[in-house]
Amino acid sequence: MEIIPRPLKIIKKNGVNHINRSLNLRFNNQNLKFTVNHLHQELEKFYQFHITYNSADQELNYIEFCLENTGQGSEGYILEIGSGFIKIAAEKPAGIFYAVQTLLQIMLQKKVPGSNEINLNCCRIEDRPRFSWRGMHLDVSRHFFGIDFIKRYLDLLALHKLNRFHWHLTDDNGWRIEIKKYPLLTEICSWRKDLEHIPWNQRAESNVPGKGVYGGFYSQKDIRNIVEYAAERFIEVIPEIEMPGHSSEVFAAYPEFSCQGKKLTVASGGLRSNPHNFCPGKDETLKFLQDILTEVIELFPSRYIHLGGDEVNKTIWKECPHCQQRIRKENLRDETELQGWFANRIAAFLNSKGRNVIVWDEVIAATSKIAATVMCWRGDGVGAAQKAASARLNAIMCPNNTLYFDWKQNPGDKGAFGVTSLQDVYNYEPVPDLFSAEESKHILGAQGNVWTEWMADKDRVEYMILPRMTALAEVVWSDIENRNFADFSHRLQDFKQILRQENYNFNQR
Ligand code: ACM
Ligand code: ZN
């Protein structure tokens, strides 16, 4: 059976199941309605079936969906293909959804052009994921992607049994989320001068004259729509609001929350050395950010909110009287501790609202006292993971040297920075070598990051992530003993058939 990610256990049985037009779908729990419908719609895209529901007297050619005790955990499932029937069982609706993904893979890969019957070998599959955090990130600041593409991206996550979408909504090159209290964030900070004809790293960073015309944003209605679409597919959407760095776009409209109070333009590109941060010395800055986060948590039911915290160039803080006064008043050693103080303040605010906080790993370097989950991205991420585990904090692995899908897939390709091949991704192991069993419990899983400086449109994004995210899916789902690159490469040939049928633009090599 050519399934990606590879299931825990496949037990082959004798016999063949002939599925034909008059397929009957049986379920007894309304929570499964979306998933059952999803299977129905996917099958209808490719077969002229006449599907009916809940006809208990149909003795053959049915699929039964059961919520019951399976011993496979909250995301696991058992899929049994018998002769004449298919049974899907899981403890939770998420498990049923993943079983349907497996079944669809089998059914769509077996498609014979012109045929309206599917022949499946009988078997029993027992399956559950290795990690709870199986994610993909998308940067929508460097280039904006509309909600149709975000849905397509979520479809891809679902196809790969990934369950976390990290939505990088704000950065120097555009603010992308409507905040009712501060309308200029989207009237002004979402738009930049169109310099798309110039390579990203050759664009001037600031003070480019001319009206902002290039960009876009998600209305609160759009966000609710996406969160609901994701939830139907058992994907948690984690919004990221970057602070205190990677935030200069805000100062195109609200310069009073920076140190110098100087109005900037939204940068159309350029290198990442921007020193224009939020000023943590001013109480008003904290108030502004708390107001924004108050609207963010209304929109996102996620357990986690991501606060950024990476690559903070602190040169202006050194000269800012507000920042220096804060350092003295709070008895901090330096600007790094000031970042730690700031992160702790914002985290405490979110914790008080019942939310967990995620930060990039620079924050744990600035303060080990923070109550947060750490995203380990620099280098191999191991040092940061070690630091997190020592502080009894959880970590999510997204090392730039392996899981940054803006990096090239092959040495000759276009792309940012280094090279991370399909095989590099496949061979990635989220739990660091020397971790004890106790430390390993702090590794929640891993995710692929997709920074879009060099990806201006959806086709480019798809090309850069596919099939590397397919390899990642197996890293985070499948048991380590079941991972084998040659075997994966073989199964990938069939998986590509599905990518082709769904018109994804993947790297064909
Ligand atoms: C990052 O790549 N700056 C988190
Ligand atoms: Zn300041």
Cα radius of gyration rounded to whole Å, the chain: 24
Q: Which atom of ligand 1 is nearest to the CA of 449?
A: 2
Nearest protein Cα to ligand 1, atom 3: 310
- How many angstroms is it from 245 CA to the middle of ligand 2? 12
Query: What is the value of pTM for the model shown?
Result: 0.97
Taking the CA of 278 as reference, the closest ligand is: 2
Q: What is the DSSP string of 106-172?
A: HHHHTPPTT---EEEEEEEEEE--S-SEEEEEEE-SSS---HHHHHHHHHHHHHTT--EEEEE-EET
CA–CA separation, 38 and 32 (whole Å): 10
Identify residues whose C-beta is under 5 A from ligand 2, the ion.
Answer: 259, 279, 281, 320, 322-323
- Strand pairing report for 443-448 and 416-419: unpaired
Which residue in the block uniquely carries the two structure tokens 């993904």?
A: 101
Residue 509's pLDDT is 79
Residue 414's pLDDT is 76
- How many angstroms is it from 192 CA to the middle of ligand 1? 22
Residue 320 in tokens: 């800012």
Q: Give yes or no for a contact between 382 and 431, defined as CB atoms under 8 angstroms apart.
A: no
Cα 453 from chain centre: 17
**What pLDDT digit, counting tens, does each position of 468-483 carry?**
999 999 999 999 998 9
* Residue 126 in contact with ligand 1 by CB distance below 6 A: no
Nearest protein Cα to ligand 1, atom 1: 310
H-state helical runs in 191-245: 220-232
Residue 198 in tokens: 């110039």
Mutate to test the pocket of ligand 1, among 166, 243, 310 (most ligand atoms within 8 A of CB): 310
* Residue 310 in contact with ligand 1 by CB distance below 6 A: yes
Give the residue numbers marked as catalytic: 171, 246, 311
Q: Which atom of ligand 1 is nearest to the CA of 272?
A: 3
Domains of the chain: 9-127 (3.30.379.10), 133-501 (3.20.20.80)
Residue 89's pLDDT is 98
Residue 142 in tokens: 């460097």
* Residue 377 in contact with ligand 1 by CB distance below 6 A: yes
CA–CA separation, 28 and 47 (whole Å): 25
Residue type, 265: T
CA–CA separation, 194 and 268 (whole Å): 7
CA–CA separation, 205 and 274 (whole Å): 8
Dmax of the chain from CA atoms? 79
Residue 110's pLDDT is 73
Instruction: Give me the residues of the chain with pLDDT under 70, please.
Output: 207, 272, 415
